[in-house]
Structure 1
Amino acid sequence: MKISIRSSRSTGRRRTTAAVALGAVLALTATACGDDGSGAGGDSGADGSGKGKIVFWDNNGGVRTDIWKEIIADFEKANPDIDVEYVGIASTEYQSKVDTALQGGGLPDVGGVGAAMLAGFAAQDALEPLDFRLAKSTLNGKLNEDMLTSMKAAGGGDDRLYSVPTSANNGVLYYRTDLFEKAGLDEPSTWDNFYKAAERLTNVRKNEFGYTIRGGAGSIAQAMDAMYGQSGITSFWNSTGEKTTVNDPKNVEALKKYAALYKKVTPAADLNNDFTKMVAQWDSGTIGMLNHNLGSYQDHVKAFGTDKFRGIPQPTGPGGKRVQVSNPVDGLGLFKSSKNKDAAWKFIEFAASHESNSKFNESAGQVPANTDAAKDAWVEKAEPTKLAAQALSDGSTTIVQLPYYLPDWNTISKADNEPNFQKVLLGKMSAKDFLDTLAEQLNEAQAEWKGQKG
């Protein structure tokens, strides 16, 4: 098995429409090697022999490297005529890495393709539709229907499947039960209890903090979770579907209150912390609460065991109503330019099978896409996963569906606005100005998308 770890530097490209992005790719390939009209950089690839070498890009390299190495070893043992080259890419750099390869060549055969970035890749005709392969596969009927529906909806509107779902995540509020008990605090199951605990557990002189806030990469979705959770607004768009609700006055007030936690009850280092640094900080310090997702559960178990912390669904607002934003389904996509699609599909099929999917999600602490894997004993034992599944099925939670179908979504919600959110935390930009800017970009992207769909 060949293992290599690579990374690329994020370039923070400017937002473009799907039409412009696709045109740029086709123009480049027409100049370089002649445009055959097949898409994916003018290269429709080939099914290949079903043997030989394939390249797999992990979209969460470093975090999920060990479990992917294990699954690859299992796959190569079961398929000795296929060699998988693993390339681990940090989640914060993955989109720019794929975008660069789309324009300059060098795409892998298989790559991690979550719902949040799916529309942008599909708009550039980079991915192979997988409906026909899935229909003939042993996976047919074995994948969670809601996750399949989410993947199809995120593909840009043509109702095709461009990524086989592997797992679903969910927002979780982790809290230190030992610190809460010592302070005589109630569980932070409501937003009122959350803010009360954040204040009570903070002693800056002793380097003790009530909360850690995400100010670095990935901060926008987490901030939205706090906004909608407090405001109780249940739709991302207004009744006409033309204007976003992100800058609704209730959301503005919610974000203002949430951002005010920075440096008051949180470490100053939070300004630049992505999820890995935030999780490591919580696991090694005396911080009361952490808002992340199911993916970090195993890290906390390693740090504390299971008796010093809990992971519960997001806090409820007045009247016991819980509102949270959708967390994207993750999956595996087959790049259209692959010269060995049959072998690449075998790898996807193996990774999403019962045993491998269970193994991956137990390691990641996430909800398996394979319905047989979702019935395995570890799911019941992993309390945050169990509670998240209950919250999503018992009617207590309303999900605000984020517009993953917009080709520009990933850029708007990351590179274009993360620096502005840091300004909000620093008090250099108001919550209203930040959300008005975000809303303007989202409304424009929505109008462009609707125009392209006729």
Structure 2
Amino acid sequence: MPHLSRRTALRLTAGMALGAALPLAGCGREDDAAATSGAKKVDTSPATGTVNVWAAQGDADVLGKVLTPFKAANPDLAVQTTLIPNAEYYTKLQAAVAAGKGPDLAQFFPESQAQFLDSSTLLPVPDDLVDPGRFFKSLWDAGVVNDVAYTVPWYAYTYALVYRSDLAKKAGVEAPTTWAGMEPFLKGLQSAGAAHALGADIGWDIFNGQDVAMYAWQAGGSLVTSDSKWNLDTPQMIDALDYNASFFTAGTADTGGPTFLDAQPYFVSGRTASMITGPWVIGQLDTAAKKSGWTASHVATAPLSAGASSSVSFSAGGTWGVLADSGNPDAAWKLVRHLAEPTTQVAQYKAYGSLPAVVSAWGDPVIKGQPLLDAFFTQLKNTRAFPQVGTWQQVATRLGKEMEAVAKGKQTAAKAAAAIQAYAESVGTGRK
């Protein structure tokens, strides 16, 4: 059966799911630092003219409502927003940019925006437009290439452990803090009645490749070298592939499912009892259980377990960039500055459940009062950006394919790592 892209499903469901959670009491180098661009500063005068905005359907659906205060403060500005289906978004944006018919302002995804991070496509972020230190560091870093920032973070997510607290209590186990503790924890959940302890979708795609990359970081690896060459055939990548496969060989996860959209029903029914996933799941579980309050009494969250090096995860979400050929960059940047304000990001959370990229916004009572989000906040402070190279999406997809082969016992981790490296070298890094 064809595997449904998690990108499509995730973008269509993430925000609405987090919104539903409110009643609960949402490169060059891997280590690029936040940087200034030397671009012209943007003043505080009202924006005027017209700004054309393109965004993917999902989190951007509520922009009209969220931008109401900005429009009131800038009455001589017209904001024209075009929402595009997620699955078509980058394709249409690339075509428009190539034809010189792109918008003034466009949404990007930090985990897959590297192909756009170039002065021929995007304007550098102006000096003093925003304070880079206000954002989760890896989200800001994801838009920085050669010490120039091209995007400003808008919303954030990462992965953490979501598990059945009732079964964990029955088994007398606590969320693990290390890889070594994962199997006893998962076996405990199974002893308490779960058919399989971990719901892990291995139908290969870019998202599963990102999972493997995350595990490689936790093992102490890096995906590219300091001089921007692929670094995937390593002991750390082998450890990452073996760690992922161990869930299946130990019988705590099933290669037959659940697939992405089946994860919540499996979890609620007890066919599985944990997921390594994003925060949108929290708001979907009461619906899956068909019972209000089920999540609060059955679910807990925890940061990820640490491998030999760390418990790091990856940063993802949404960002904004102004196109190089924008006809009104001044107004576009003023709009970006407004979207990066803590109060605006809280308003976006209230409207759609998009979790803020600005750290201080998490202190707002409407977010701070969601205890199941605490683990995601903790994890977001321990994240990395994926490599800022144009072919990352291709390589991540190949990582997912090799990961599936190892998990199903069709390939050794060592041979998979070598195959991944060979493929990555064949496609290069997309650098000019």
Same fold by TM-score greater than 0.5: yes
* Structure 1 equivalent of residue 421 of structure 2: 439
Distance 1:129 1:171, change over 3 A: same
Give CA deviations for 1:213-265 in whole Å, capped at 9, x if unaligned: 13344111112323443xx3254456x65765543235314422422534943
TM alignment of 1:46-445, pairs within 5 A: 50-52=48-50, 54-58=52-56, 61-62=57-58, 64-68=59-63, 70-72=65-67, 75-76=70-71, 79=74, 81-90=77-86, 94-104=89-99, 106-123=101-118, 125-132=120-127, 135=128, 137=129, 140-141=130-131, 144-145=133-134, 147=136, 151=140, 154-157=143-146, 159-202=147-190, 208-215=195-202, 216-217=204-205, 218-229=207-218, 232-233=219-220, 235-237=222-224, 246-262=232-248, 264-266=251-253, 270=257, 273-274=259-260, 277=261, 280-281=264-265, 284-286=268-270, 287-300=272-285, 304-317=294-307, 322-328=310-316, 330-361=318-349, 363-364=352-353, 366-369=355-358, 371=360, 373-383=361-371, 385-390=373-378, 401=384, 403-414=386-397, 416-442=398-424
- Stretch moving more, 326-335 or 99-108: 99-108
Instruction: Please tell me whether the aligned partners of residues 391 and 429 of structure 2 are also in contact (alpha carbons under 8 angstroms).
Output: no
Shift of residue 390 of structure 1? 4.6
Shift of residue 311 of structure 1? 1.5
Distance 1:110 1:283, change over 3 A: farther
Partners in 2 of 1:74 and 1:270 — Cα distance? 46
Shift of residue 309 of structure 1? 1.2
For the residue of structure 1 that corresponds to 2:149, the secondary structure is coil
Distance 1:270 1:110, change over 3 A: farther
Distance 1:171 1:76, change over 3 A: same
Distance 1:411 1:207, change over 3 A: same
Partners in 2 of 1:110 and 1:242 — Cα distance? 29
Partners in 2 of 1:412 and 1:254 — Cα distance? 16
TM-score normalised by length of structure 2 = 0.71
Partners in 2 of 1:278 and 1:225 — Cα distance? 23
Partners in 2 of 1:250 and 1:149 — Cα distance? 21
2:393 maps to a residue whose letter is: N
- Stretch moving more, 430-439 or 206-215: 206-215
Partners in 1 of 2:118 and 2:185 — Cα distance? 45
Q: Which consecutive unaligned segments of at least 5 residues does structure 1 have?
A: 1-6, 9-16, 19-48
Distance 1:391 1:351, change over 3 A: closer
Instruction: Please tell me whether the aligned partners of residues 223 and 231 of structure 2 are also in contact (alpha carbons under 8 angstroms).
Output: yes
2:388 maps to a residue whose letter is: Y
For the residue of structure 2 that corresponds to 1:438, the secondary structure is helix
Give CA deviations for 1:355-414 in whole Å, capped at 9, x if unaligned: 21123346546343264x243223433335444555676xxx6x6x45522222233213
1:121 maps to a residue whose letter is: F
Give CA deviations for 1:24-58 in whole Å, capped at 9, x if unaligned: xxxxxxxxxxxxxxxxxxxxxxxxx8334623213
For the residue of structure 1 that corresponds to 2:277, the secondary structure is strand
Give CA deviations for 1:424-446 in whole Å, capped at 9, x if unaligned: 34433333232222223445777
